[in-house]
Chain A
Amino acid sequence: MDKEFITRGVKRCSTRQFVLWILPWFALLAFGLFSAGLCLVKGLNQTNMDNRFAFGLWIFLDLTVIALGAGAFFTGFLLYILKLHELRAVINSAVVIGLVCYSGAVAVLAVGVGQPLRFWFTFWYPNVHSMLTEVTFCITCYLTVLMIEYLPVVLKNRKLRQVPSFLVFEFELHKLIYVLAGVGTFLSFFHQGSLGGLYGVLRGRPFAFREGLAIWPSTFFLFILSAAAVGPSFIVLTTWLAEKISRKKLVRPQVLQLLGRISGLLLAFYVLAKTVDTLVWINRTSPDSGFPAVQYYSWKPFGTWILFAEIVVFGLIPAMILLAPRLRARSGWLVSAAALACCGVGLNRFVQTVQTLALPTLSFDKFLSYYPSWQEVGTFLAVVAFGVLVYSFSFRYFQLFPEERELQMEVVQEQEKEQLEMAGRF
């Protein structure tokens, strides 16, 4: 029934099947919106955050999804600025992912502040020395950019492009897309960085505090690096998932491998930088502020294992896998390595947000624990559901993978060949 909306020549499941797929996600979204509504109407007392655990699940979520969404800016950068044309195959899906992650993050931030109605104060009375100001500015600007970048994808929809003005606008906008890609890169770059700075500047939290260049602590750069490294991995992951769920070939394996390679390379750099940073921190920064670094890891359950896991298990190992052409070539290895990398960035953001706040600063503090309330989890799930829905709709009605039809053809051709060979044999 919605056939005329679906790109000509690509295969999509029946409407009924699609409805069955999105229904549970809609249910989840509804539940999430309800719990978010509670937090907005009744206030943040609905959460399990408190004066000592001022940040919780949500900030962790924000930092993580934004790191994962970095694929959008970085792929755009590689494609439009560095002209890696193979990546045309995934850029649309990257944009959608970026859009999903950033809009989700913004939505959660809006729920997470005590006075959402005052969001604009940050623009009105910006404290230019605060990392959060930088974050707010970048996130809003970049979200706008992403929406504009998403526009062509939407307008290219088979039905919409029948409208001449849409068609023309899409055509013209697409010509200028590289400008937006450039701006997006700039913004996202700073955004990722300032998210890292967010914790790096906390002089009062020696566990997070780092020295760095000028006004930017080392975490600023580490976050950029890790985000750039994980973004492509996440695209590999999502694309693979999309292929598995839709049971179709969507991009050439070479493209995914290229992404994997880039990811691996950056990840290796990141691991190196992170190691150096950690050493400096253990031996200089932390002792200087009177906190022997050992003690951070003597509060159960956050032992040194967490450091090891962060750097080696989720850093070095995936990097190695992604850098090894032979392993990379096997989709199993590629995908699991990408998954590892994504978990790694998640763990890093978790350590930055949760462990920092859990650790005591005063000698008579307790080591704090925190479990999110169901309202918090609900809001979290709302973002996930929102993401899945946006991606599903985009996948169904827009051309996320321009090479899809071509690949279909190739598959058929293969079969043809085989048949001909068979015919020849007899």
Chain B
Amino acid sequence: MTTTRRDLLRFAGGAAFGAFLTPAPWRLITDTALWSENWPGIPRPARGEIRTKFTHCSLCPAGCAVRARCVGQQPVALAGVFGGLCPFGVTAHHLPYHPARLRQGPVKEAAAAVAAAIAKCGPRERVAVLDLRPGRTASWTYRRAMAGVRNGTYIAPAQPPVSVNLANARTVLSLGAPLLDGWCSPANAFAARDRFRLIQAEPVESRTASLADTWLPIRTGSEQALALSLAGALDTRDAAERTGLAERQIVDLARELKENGPALVIDCRMSQNVVALNVDLGSWGRTIVPRPEAPVPAAWKTAAPPAELAAVPDGSIRVLLIDESAPGEYLPWNEIQKKLVSGNPLVVAFACSREGYGQHAQFVLPAAAFPEVTDDLPAAVDAVAPGFRLATPLIPAPDGLVNPVDFVAGVAGLAAPDALRQRADAIHASGKGKLVTYADGKSAAVKEVKADEFWKALNAGACWTGDAAQPGRAPGRDFSPAAEAAVPALTAVAAELAIADSPLMSKVYQESNLRLGPDRVAMHPRSARECGVEDGAKATLETSAGQRRVEVMIDSGICPGVVLVAARPGFEPGQAKVVRI
């Protein structure tokens, strides 16, 4: 028999038909469904050994202990060791990849320029370091370095002279301090929260206010007046006048603070008046104590004393080195500017992005961002006992970065090899306190560990806590009168924005309106009406910080006459103008 083409065709057809009776083609089609997952351009998560590392978050002075879930070396998720973290902390490991992140900078040129500037420094002209987060070991190094430079000055924002002990408090009056929203370490705050009554005096219904037991909506800038009147240093009627509260409320408040002690009164910076008021309320040693600090090597005592910016004479700073790598309280630039010499002063900023002081500096040098930094954390405002906590790098810092400490030390010709280690040894030498390791949660007396182990442990995720010092004599109760400021028609109040935060913060700024986005302002319907804007309207906002386009949001939880502005740190509350576009 011969096979013709027809037979072949028949055979092919039959085969094709038969194939459809087998599961094979169907399976194949089912699989294509799975293939269609892999859309081109979608990144693949890297795989690798899952490890847990510990460090401390260096984004704010609270310095929460952090447990990092890492794939290989790379952290992919952060969690708190004692309770949760704030959203900024949760996403801190994204910071190195922020689009605005600074990676390269003219380091050599900057060094040369600084050296030159110092060389031709006039007799009355100063070389200064501005340290946004004093109390660190790095700060000590700056001070030592400045001590070695002619007219060297170490400038730092005023530190709260005391720290608070929330655990002891039964009534807490917060004068606009975001107690439950990043003022101190959230773990502490919420651990103690159920034990104290919180009274929040604030012109806007902030997060803390909405969670407070009582919210006293007061006028902007009248916190001090309230404090004074509570201390009896200001006539109640006058205070009621300024705060916009009823006299009755103030009187009741005063009584509550006295009767329902131990009471604690706080404001953002624990100002002199507030401290005095606390002393007045007999809280000294119970809810407030002098700010503790971990021991330092004796050799460091020769360091330059910290100076407040106000104390520096105007037009005297020739060279200003700003360490922005450890963000803290930002001083308004116009204040700083006053202090600079008139003829081309030299400003060098060390930062992760240009957004901060970098806008005003001649040189912006790239510094390490959070999971890359090596630094220690100063005592938080709610730390009763001295502590020593390291922020150790989880990932290696990319090349081209400068360590501001080394730079400054270099400028001053100070040999500061590994100050952190020196301090750790000093602490170990003091033999006080205990070492708490996070991995196992065990704590051991410092005496029992060797210096090397101590150091190793601190780097591997542990903290040293010393013994709470005796409160000692309470500071004298002298009040500085509250400045009678004319209240403008519209006052801008800042809802703080981070200089740079994780791109994922868009979830709370942009993909939801949970937090006030950078291009948004919120105001009371009435004040909105006065400005002739309604919800969602586009408008221009004019403040001391300049003019910008914003979208208006209506929020009847904001004091009329106040516009809540999402602003970068260093924004001073004050006169504002909102004009519809």
Q: Are A117 and B30 in contact (CB under 8 A)?
A: no
CB contacts (< 8 Å) of B29 on chain A: these are 124
Give me 8 A-to-B residue pairs in the complex whose CB atoms sit less than 8 angstroms apart, sorted by A's number. Answer: A115-B36, A117-B36, A118-B33, A118-B36, A121-B33, A124-B29, A124-B30, A124-B33
Which residues B168-203 have CB closer than 8 A to chain A?
Answer: none
How distant is A123 from chain B, measured CB to nearest CB, in Å?
10
Shortest Cβ distance from A366 into chain B, in angstroms?
Answer: 10
Taking A118-B33, A124-B33 as known contacts, 6 extra A-B pairs with beta carbons closer than 8 A to each other, sorted by chain A number, are A115-B36, A117-B36, A118-B36, A121-B33, A124-B29, A124-B30
A115 to B39, CA, bound (A): 11
Which of A115, A117, A124 counts the most B-chain CB atoms under 10 A from its CB?
Answer: A124
For window 89-111 of chain A, which residues contact chain B by CB distance below 8 Å?
Answer: none
Which 4 pairs across A and B sit closest by C-beta, in order of nearness? A118-B36, A117-B36, A121-B33, A124-B33
User: Which chain B residue has the least Cβ–Cβ distance from A117?
Assistant: B36
Rounded to whole Å, the gap between the CB of B514 and the closest CB of chain A is 13
Q: Distance in Å from the Cβ of A77 to the closest Cβ of chain B?
A: 35
Interface size (B, Cβ < 8 Å)?
Answer: 4
Interface residues of B in 3-62 (CB under 8 A from A): 29-30, 33, 36
List, in ascending order, chain A residues with CB within 8 A of B36's CB: 115, 117-118
Q: In the complex the two chains form, what is the Cα distance from A421 to B285 in whole Å? A: 125
A 118-132 to B, binary, CB cutoff 8 A, 1 in contact else 0? 100100100000000
A171 vs B33: C-alpha distance when bound (angstroms): 43
* B contact residues around A118 at 8 Å (CB): 33, 36
* Bound: A118/B33 CA distance, A: 8
- CB proximity of A74 to chain B, nearest CB, Å: 37
Interface size class of A (residues with CB under 8 A): under 10
User: Within the assembled complex, what's the spacing in Å between the Cα atoms of A117 and B32?
Assistant: 11
- A residues within 8 Å of B by Cβ? 115, 117-118, 121, 124
A358 to B33, CA, bound (A): 34
Q: How far is the CA of A118 from the CA of B29 in the complex (A)?
A: 11
Shortest B222–chain A CB gap in Å is 32
Chain B residues near A124: list those with CB within 8 A.
29-30, 33
The complex places the Cα of A247 from the Cα of B33 at a distance, in Å, of 53
Report B-chain residues with C-beta under 8 Å of the C-beta of A121. 33
Give the distance in Å from the alpha carbon of A117 to the alpha carbon of B30 in the complex. 14
Q: Chain B's nearest CB lies how many Å from the CB of A212?
A: 33
Contacts of B33 in A (CB 8 A): 118, 121, 124
Q: How far is B29's CA from A405's CA once the two chains are assembled, in angstroms?
A: 53
B396 to chain A, nearest CB (A): 38
In the complex, residue of chain B having the shortest beta-carbon distance to the beta carbon of A115: B36
A117 CA to B39 CA, complexed, in Å: 12
Q: How far is the CB of B550 from chain A (nearest CB, A)?
A: 21
- Determine how close the nearest CB of chain B comes to the CB of A343; give it in whole angstroms: 33
Q: Per-residue 0/1 for B90-108: is the Cβ within 8 Å of any A Cβ (1 yes, 0 no)?
A: 0000000000000000000
Instruction: Please give the distance in Å from A52's CB to the nearest CB on chain B.
Output: 12
- Chain A, residue nearest B39 (CB): A115
Instruction: Report the nearest B residue to A120, measured CB to CB.
Output: B29
A118 to B35, CA, bound (A): 11
Nearest B residue (CB) for A121: B33
Tell me the minimal C-beta distance from B185 to chain A in angstroms.
31
Nearest CB on B from A369, distance (A): 11
- Closest beta carbon of chain A to B285's beta carbon, Å: 46
Q: Which residue of chain A has its CB nearest to the CB of B33?
A: A121
A124 CA to B29 CA, complexed, in Å:
9
Instruction: Give the distance in Å from the alpha carbon of A121 to the alpha carbon of B33 in the complex.
Output: 8
Within 8 A of A (CB), among B255-307: none
Residues of B within 8 A of A115 (CB): 36
What is the CA–CA distance of A117 and B36 in the complex, to the nearest angstrom? Answer: 9
Closest CB-CB distance, A118 to chain B, in whole Å?
6
Alpha-carbon separation in the docked complex, A121 to B30 (Å): 9
Which chain A residues border B30 with CB–CB below 8 Å?
124
Cα A115 to Cα B33 in complex, Å, equals: 11
B334 to chain A, nearest CB (A): 41
Min Cβ gap A354→B in Å is 21
- A365 smallest CB distance to B (angstroms): 13
Provide the bound-state CA to CA distance between A261 and B146, in Å. Answer: 100
Chain B window 298-342, contacts with chain A (Cβ cutoff 8 Å), 1 for yes, 0 for no: 000000000000000000000000000000000000000000000
User: How distant is the Cα of A118 from the Cα of B37 in the complex, in angstroms?
Assistant: 10
- Cβ distance A377 to chain B, nearest Cβ, rounded Å: 23
In the bound complex, CA of A117 to CA of B29 (Å): 13
Shortest distance between the CB of A73 and any CB in chain B (Å): 32
A322–B316 CA distance with the chains assembled, in angstroms: 94
How far apart are the CA atoms of A115 and B30 in the complex, in Å? Answer: 16
A113–B84 Cα distance when bound, in Å, is: 39
Q: How far is it, in angstroms, between the C-alpha of A121 and the C-alpha of B36 when the chains are bound?
A: 11
A316 to chain B, nearest CB (A): 40
Tell me the complex Cα distance, A118–B30, Å: 11
CA distance A420 to B36 in the complex (A): 77
Of all chain B residues, the one with the shortest Cβ separation from A118 is B36
A198 to chain B, nearest CB (A): 24
Taken together as a complex, chains A and B put the C-alpha atoms of A124 and B33 apart, in Å, by 10
Give the distance to chain B from A278, nearest Cβ to Cβ, in Å.
Answer: 34
Minimum C-beta distance from A269 to chain B (A): 44
| CB of A124, distance to nearest CB on chain B (Å) | 7
Smallest CB gap from B511: residue in A: A51
Most A C-beta atoms less than 10 A away, residue of B29, B30, B33: B33
What's the nearest-Cβ distance from chain A to residue B400, in Å?
Answer: 36
Q: How far is the CA of A124 from the CA of B30 in the complex (A)?
A: 8
| Least CB distance, B25 to chain A, in whole angstroms | 12
Cα A124 to Cα B25 with chains together (Å): 13
A124 to B34 Cα, complex, angstroms: 13
- Tell me the complex Cα distance, A115–B38, Å: 13
Taking the closest CB of chain B, its distance from the CB of A163, in whole angstroms, is 26
Chain A nearest CB: distance from B55 CB in Å?
Answer: 37
Give the distance to chain A from B28, nearest Cβ to Cβ, in Å. Answer: 12
Question: Which residues 221-252 of B have a CB within 8 angstroms of A?
Answer: none
**Which of chain B's residues have a CB closer than 8 A to the CB of A117?**
36
- Complex CA gap A87/B36 in Å reads 48
Among residues of A, the one whose C-beta sits closest to the C-beta of B26 is A124
- Measured between alpha carbons, how far is A124 from B36 in the docked complex, in Å? 14
Cα-based distance from A124 to B31 in the complex (angstroms): 11
The 8 A CB mask of B381-398 against A (1 = contact, 0 = none) is 000000000000000000
CA distance A121 to B35 in the complex (A): 13
CA distance A100 to B30 in the complex (A): 33
- What's the nearest-Cβ distance from chain A to residue B322, in Å? 41
Compute how far the CA of A117 lies from the CA of B40 in the bound complex, rounded to whole angstroms. 14
**How far, in angstroms, from A105 to B393 measured CA to CA in the complex?**
58
Task: Mark contacts of B61-82 with chain A using CB atoms, 8 A cut-off: 1 yes-contact digit, 0 otherwise.
Answer: 0000000000000000000000
CB distance from A275 to the nearest CB of B (A): 39
How long is the Cα–Cα vector from A352 to B569 in the complex, in angstroms? Answer: 49
Closest chain-A Cβ to B391's Cβ sits at a distance in Å of: 38
Q: How far is the CA of A86 from the CA of B30 in the complex (A)?
A: 50
* A124-B27 Cα distance, complex, nearest whole Å: 11
Minimum C-beta distance from B445 to chain A (A): 53
- The minimal Cβ–Cβ distance linking B448 to chain A, given in whole angstroms, is 56
Q: How far is the CB of A42 from chain B (nearest CB, A)?
A: 13
